[in-house]
């Protein structure tokens, strides 16, 4: 099979073809990012790079190339995304979609596949009209630990929703714990990071929490150490040889943050954000509710209600980290260490721009070779 990949990036397409067992005779790639090209060449040295997508039509007509069986690509999404200005085809990046159409019409491949983000229906309709097919929406969460909803236009037959592999975010971590089952969608700017306030209030750019997390104190007699209650999502504290007497590690079995803001008269006024939090953790254990004693330190990393506890964010900056490049590779179902060889910022960028390989492999299974 001869394949032409437009906007090839780090060659997720080759990984998908390899994964589904399709033999590729020639893989032609159009890409201009030097770091993505470097990673593609490291992993697939036989890739035939053709450069700028706007020159492919001219280049193809002036040279002899084999018949293309499969055309794949994901034109730049920034101009269509709800997260951007949605200039669509008025944006220079959005106009690159028409290069895909031009090349498709020129080469007339047996199969084609175009990927892009969810967008306004009017843009979906325009793309569908040019390609002659309606898209299928697939969430990468079915095959990975990442929520990533994308549209796929293709004439490959029998494309259905993938079977849910039930992969959780905690399954792909090198270490640490997380506050949700699926990661937020990776983007090309993940490496720029953020902080807890951005994470909890804007709900983006997944964070990982790296230590055993104390979430309260139990109302028992004894040393401070035996009063500590830990989150079940963290690592357990070290066991000791002194059994009984409330010395065993205590784990919070589920519950909700019910912080209180009290004025100088002890009256609860949660709406007054300038008041300090006097924290209590209500824990539900075996359908019974009990309150842990009031604690003055809020070592809590579960999502805080939006706008309710802004003074808590700055206290726990040492608790969290970004996903590692290896963990991001696993979110995109890319082979471990596939992107090694460039800086971490470039690894994050190309992974955010890339495809979820197992979704593409699922679609390509419909090809009759």
309 part of a folded domain: yes
Confidence at residue 188, expressed as pLDDT on a 0 to 100 scale: 82
Report the sign of the C-alpha dihedral through residues 28, 31, 32, 38, in that order.
Answer: negative
Give 177's contacts (C-beta < 8 A, 6+ positions apart): 170, 208, 209, 210, 213, 231, 233, 234, 235
11 & 157 share domain = yes
How many domains in the chain? 2
The 228-231 sheet, strands edge to edge: 214-217, 228-231, 250-252
Q: Who wins on pLDDT, 201 or 242?
A: 201
69 part of a folded domain: yes
328 part of a folded domain: no
Give the pLDDT mean for 80-107. 75
Q: Who wins on pLDDT, 219 or 95?
A: 95
100 & 230 share domain = no
Confidence at residue 269, expressed as pLDDT on a 0 to 100 scale: 76
Catalytic (active-site) positions: 77
151 & 222 share domain = no
Q: Which range, of 139-143, 159-163, 169-173, averages the lowest pLDDT?
A: 169-173
Q: Who wins on pLDDT, 82 or 130?
A: 130
151 part of a folded domain: yes
Confidence of residue 68 (pLDDT cuts 50, 70, 90): very high
Question: Each residue of 232-271: pLDDT tens digit?
Answer: 444 334 343 333 444 444 443 333 334 566 777 777 776 6
Confidence of residue 5 (pLDDT cuts 50, 70, 90): very high
Q: Is the pLDDT of residue 307 over 50?
A: no
Whether 282 and 295 have beta carbons less than 8 Å apart is answered as no
217 part of a folded domain: yes
151 & 11 share domain = yes
15 & 109 share domain = yes
Q: Can you give the residue range of the structural domain that contains 309?
A: 211-318
Question: pTM to 2 decimals?
Answer: 0.73
What letter does residue 262 receive in the DSSP assignment? B
191 part of a folded domain: no
185 part of a folded domain: no
Confidence at residue 246, expressed as pLDDT on a 0 to 100 scale: 47
Round to whole Å and give the CA distance between 50 and 270. Answer: 61
Give the pLDDT mean for 65-80. 84
Confidence at residue 363, expressed as pLDDT on a 0 to 100 scale: 97
Q: Is the pLDDT of residue 332 over 60?
A: yes
Confidence at residue 231, expressed as pLDDT on a 0 to 100 scale: 44
245 & 140 share domain = no
45 part of a folded domain: yes
Confidence at residue 95, expressed as pLDDT on a 0 to 100 scale: 76
Confidence at residue 243, expressed as pLDDT on a 0 to 100 scale: 39
Confidence at residue 276, expressed as pLDDT on a 0 to 100 scale: 67
Confidence of residue 357 (pLDDT cuts 50, 70, 90): very high
Whether 160 and 198 have beta carbons less than 8 Å apart is answered as no
117 & 248 share domain = no
Confidence at residue 3, expressed as pLDDT on a 0 to 100 scale: 97
Confidence at residue 24, expressed as pLDDT on a 0 to 100 scale: 97
Whether 8 and 360 have beta carbons less than 8 Å apart is answered as no
Confidence at residue 36, expressed as pLDDT on a 0 to 100 scale: 96
């Amino acid at each position: 099979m001869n394949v032409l990949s437009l906007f090839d990036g780090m060659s997720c397409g080759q990984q998908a073809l390899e994964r589904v067992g399709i033999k590729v005779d020639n893989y032609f790639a159009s890409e201009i990012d030097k770091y993505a090209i470097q990673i593609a060449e490291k992993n697939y040295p036989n890739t035939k790079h053709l450069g700028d997508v706007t020159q492919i039509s001219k280049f193809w007509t002036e040279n002899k190339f084999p018949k293309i069986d499969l055309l794949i690509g994901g034109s730049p999404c920034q101009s269509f995304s709800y997260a951007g200005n949605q200039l669509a085809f008025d944006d220079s990046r959005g106009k690159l979609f028409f290069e895909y159409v031009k090349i498709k019409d020129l080469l007339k491949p047996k199969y084609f596949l175009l990927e892009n983000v969810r967008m306004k229906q009017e843009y979906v309709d325009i793309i569908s009209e040019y390609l002659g097919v309606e898209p299928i929406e697939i969430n990468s969460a079915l095959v990975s630990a990442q929520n990533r909803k994308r549209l796929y236009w293709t004439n490959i037959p029998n494309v259905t929703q993938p079977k849910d592999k039930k992969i959780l975010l905690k399954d792909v971590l090198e270490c640490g714990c997380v506050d949700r089952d699926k990661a937020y969608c990776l983007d090309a700017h993940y490496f720029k990071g953020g902080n807890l306030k951005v994470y909890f209030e804007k709900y983006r750019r997944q964070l990982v929490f790296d230590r055993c997390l104390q979430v309260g104190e139990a109302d028992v007699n004894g040393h401070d150490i035996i009063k500590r209650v830990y989150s079940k999502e963290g690592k357990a504290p070290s066991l000791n040889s002194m059994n009984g007497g409330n010395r065993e590690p205590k784990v919070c079995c589920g519950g909700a943050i019910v912080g209180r803001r009290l004025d100088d008269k002890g009256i609860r006024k949660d709406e007054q954000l300038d008041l300090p939090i006097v924290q209590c953790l209500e824990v539900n254990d075996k359908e019974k509710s009990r309150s842990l004693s009031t604690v003055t330190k809020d070592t809590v990393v579960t999502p805080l209600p939006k706008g309710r506890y802004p003074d808590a964010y700055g206290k726990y900056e040492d608790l969290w980290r970004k996903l590692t490049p290896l963990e991001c590779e696993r979110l995109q179902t890319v082979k471990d260490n596939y992107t090694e060889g460039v800086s971490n910022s470039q690894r994050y960028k190309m992974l955010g721009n890339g495809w979820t390989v197992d979704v593409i492999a699922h679609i390509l299974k419909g090809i009759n070779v």
